[in-house]
Structure 1
Amino acid sequence: MTITVGIRCDAGPRTGVGHLVRCVALAEELVAHGVAVHFLSDLGGLAWAHAQLEQRGLPWHPAPYDEVGLVAAAARLGLDALVTDSYELPPRHAAAVRATGRTVLTIVDGELRGQPADIYVDQNLDAELAVPDLPPGAIRLAGLDYALLRAAVRERRPAAARGASAARTPKVVAFFGGTDAYRAAPVIGRLLVATGAAFDAVVVAADRGLRDELRAVAPGAGQRLRVIGPTDELPALLADADLAVSASGTSTWELLCLGLPSALVRVVDNQIIGYERTIAHGLAAGLGHLPALRVPSAEADAAAAVLRDLLTDPAARTALGARAWAAVDGRGAERVARALLAAIRSGTDARRTAVAALERSVVAAQNWDYEGWQAMHAANKTPSR
């Protein structure tokens, strides 16, 4: 019998696409194991988000309004389990599904946010060092060993850490999520130009306004600044790059898996811990907090200096890339999928045992022969005493 899993996550202009991207990574792995996956999501009208599901043949259903609707959807779709990944979803939604006997897996970033689950996944660096209180019987998969990465990234992971080439102008890829809600692309474009170093950069701009602003940035001698819109070719671009510049978010683990030297900018407050830990471990270079980089300042000068050093020092890029490559092996989605499937099968067996025990007690109370009752029940007949 086919196992069916529902994924409850959202995307949008302000929410971004990070929750969706890591859920797509898990969905890909589940499908590879023969699981049917359904997304129950508000995609915020983002064409790129819709395309990620359509291209992979992943069914999409509008997000249920409340817990009653979510339980109804779980019953209608025949879900064996539910995956949730949201900062906004009220805990009562997952609780209602879990109360039906279905397995619940919740993806978190640090705080559990009161979400009830059988399995918690926290893919962040050093997450395994925390020991939060879990519901009885729940397990927690924590740390970079459980980073959920898309197949398009995993397939491009090099067999070994790669060296940096001193023979070519460094290729740079700068991107800031599917929506770049905080308008980071033009800021980084200007910082790259301010380095005075040679580079060949592709900057992903999420909308026309960002693209127009970037095209107004005038590169210097030896500098090339190409501006493109959101693209599914980003993993391929990154695999051929010498340096990536990105917001410190879920994409960080993709960059590490690829062994790509990276410079990160902290865009929002919930990125503080991940940003600081990644920099402290020497897995990426830090550019600082985005608001401080928008105008001429000491912070902006320091960020430009960091970029200049990376652009002009192949040895520094090689060392940074080697540490990054060793940190993430790309098998996180596989580990999470196997844990979820084991929990589903265990839960299914437990539910069947409980149902059989209940049936036996009812049959015994009526003084019926249990085996005879089973045979008659299967034939849709009324058993007699």
Structure 2
Amino acid sequence: MQVFIRTDASIQIGTGHVMRCLTLAKQLKSRNVVVTFICRNLEGNLINFITEQGFDVLCLSEIPKTKESPEISHWDWTRDNWFDDAEETILLLKKVNLPIELLVVDHYSIDINWEQKLQSIVKKIMVIDDIADRKHDCDLLLDQNFYCSMENRYSNLVPEKCYQFLGPSYALLREEFLNINPSKIIRDGTINNILIFFGGTDSAGATLKILYAIKELIKVNIIINVVIGFENPFKEQIESFCNKYENVILHCNIDYMANLMSQADLAIGAGGTASWERIYLRLPSVVVTTASNQLELTRDLAHTGAIKSLGVIQSILKSDIQSQLKLLIDNPQAILKMVESCNYIINYSTVKKNRVSSRILEIINDTR
């Protein structure tokens, strides 16, 4: 079975789309599915990383730069040039010269127009989305996020026949997470270990801002693990900061995130894909919104009590970060309430049973 995944990563876009697609790709590969990625060659792409994970990548050309717009938005270019993107993708797929059972699309700038153009050369299209701001012509749709109105979120945006996988019960979690039973992790409300992680790129500089803010709160009895990616533009400053403290440990581009989250008592991070990893492991979180697509999700999660939201990174003050952190360190009962709320959102056995890869293959085989 041939499955292709159209997604992108860059300094502007971040790494979240590719990382969750890699999780799906590995699940499918374990069931003897051949998975190939289609990515545009953007600054900060993860094309080499994808190939290192064992998958072929078909590369789309670089975005042309002009004197008028040397720093064009990667999101805007794909949205404005969707026809060219679709045409280039079709050319690559035709060269494969094999029946394509499924094309997975995980891209905020691709919508119904692009998808309809690809329908003639693929058997089925699956969309991974979480902002529900445009129409799709797809056979399957995955939105793994928690929203107050999950059931009706895509009622007017996808065809009636579309299979919809909605909510954290369908979260795309890597095997390192699924191999852990969260109920075995002891969380007693005390904070002796804090994890800071703002994604693979963190172009907003949230990691550094948090570190400077909590500098006065760093105590020798609290271990602070800081995780960044190779593409973090503030890598050298972060490394310099961490080297000043014995109990502040820097990790770069790691493959043991589940282990760090299991050991942590509190996480500080963004409201993206890592939300489900933290909540699955019942890890209380202080969340900073670093992109507009995280606003609704972070707001709805904050209503459940599973996280504490500080707001948008650009408007957060040093005092906001310090007061929230001190409040949680001094209040173990507040931490325990957050742990209970995490249990309400994601159930360990349900996530293991509802593996998206299994449901995809069931649908494809039933409709052949």
Smaller-chain TM-score bracket: 0.7 to 0.9
Deviates more, 1:305-314 or 1:262-271: 305-314
Q: Following TM superposition, by how much is the alpha carbon of 1:136 offset from its aligned partner in structure 2, in angstroms?
A: 4.0
Contact kept? 2:15, 2:200, Cα under 8 Å:
yes
Q: Following TM superposition, by how much is the alpha carbon of 1:307 offset from its aligned partner in structure 2, in angstroms?
A: 1.0
Amino acid at match of 1:96: K
Contact kept? 2:225, 2:251, Cα under 8 Å:
yes
Q: In 2, distance between residues paired with 1:89 and 1:332?
A: 30
* Candidates 94, 106, 112, aligned match of 2:115: 94
**1:108-151 deviations in Å (ceiling 9; x for gaps):** 11325223101111111022353521224222221111211122
Q: In 1, distance between residues paired with 2:326 and 2:170?
A: 33
* Candidates 274, 284, 290, aligned match of 1:261: 284
Larger Rg: 1
2:363: which partner in 1? 343
Contact kept? 1:174, 1:202, Cα under 8 Å:
yes
TM normalised by structure 2 equals: 0.81
* Candidates 175, 181, 190, aligned match of 2:212: 190
* Candidates 61, 73, 85, aligned match of 2:92: 73
2:53: which partner in 1? 56
* Candidates 134, 141, 157, aligned match of 2:165: 141
Q: Following TM superposition, by how much is the alpha carbon of 1:14 offset from its aligned partner in structure 2, in angstroms?
A: 0.8
Name the SS of the counterpart of 2:151 in structure 1: helix
Name the SS of the counterpart of 2:37 in structure 1: strand
Q: In 1, distance between residues paired with 2:195 and 2:274?
A: 13
Q: Following TM superposition, by how much is the alpha carbon of 1:321 offset from its aligned partner in structure 2, in angstroms?
A: 2.2
Contact kept? 1:7, 1:84, Cα under 8 Å:
yes
Q: In 2, distance between residues paired with 1:12 and 1:202?
A: 25
Amino acid at match of 2:113: R
Q: Following TM superposition, by how much is the alpha carbon of 1:26 offset from its aligned partner in structure 2, in angstroms?
A: 1.2
Q: In 2, distance between residues paired with 1:75 and 1:345?
A: 23
Q: Following TM superposition, by how much is the alpha carbon of 1:176 offset from its aligned partner in structure 2, in angstroms?
A: 0.7
Count of residues in Structure 1 that have an aligned counterpart in Structure 2 = 337
Q: Following TM superposition, by how much is the alpha carbon of 1:188 offset from its aligned partner in structure 2, in angstroms?
A: 0.8
Gap regions ≥5 residues in structure 1: 349-385
Name the SS of the counterpart of 2:182 in structure 1: coil
**1:133-178 deviations in Å (ceiling 9; x for gaps):** 1224222221111211122222234244632374xx6111101110
Q: In 2, distance between residues paired with 1:45 and 1:218?
A: 27
TM normalised by structure 1 equals: 0.78
Name the SS of the counterpart of 2:234 in structure 1: helix
* Candidates 327, 331, 337, aligned match of 1:313: 331
1:246: which partner in 2? 269
2:19: which partner in 1? 21
2:192: which partner in 1? 170
Q: In 1, distance between residues paired with 2:322 and 2:181?
A: 29
Q: How does 1:204-283 map onto structure 2 within 5 Å?
A: 204-206=227-229, 210-214=234-238, 217=241, 224-283=247-306
Q: In 2, distance between residues paired with 1:75 and 1:343?
A: 24
RMSD of Structure 2 on Structure 1 (CA) = 2.8
Q: In 2, distance between residues paired with 1:4 and 1:267?
A: 35
Q: Following TM superposition, by how much is the alpha carbon of 1:191 offset from its aligned partner in structure 2, in angstroms?
A: 2.4
Q: Following TM superposition, by how much is the alpha carbon of 1:334 offset from its aligned partner in structure 2, in angstroms?
A: 4.6
* Candidates 148, 153, 163, aligned match of 1:130: 153
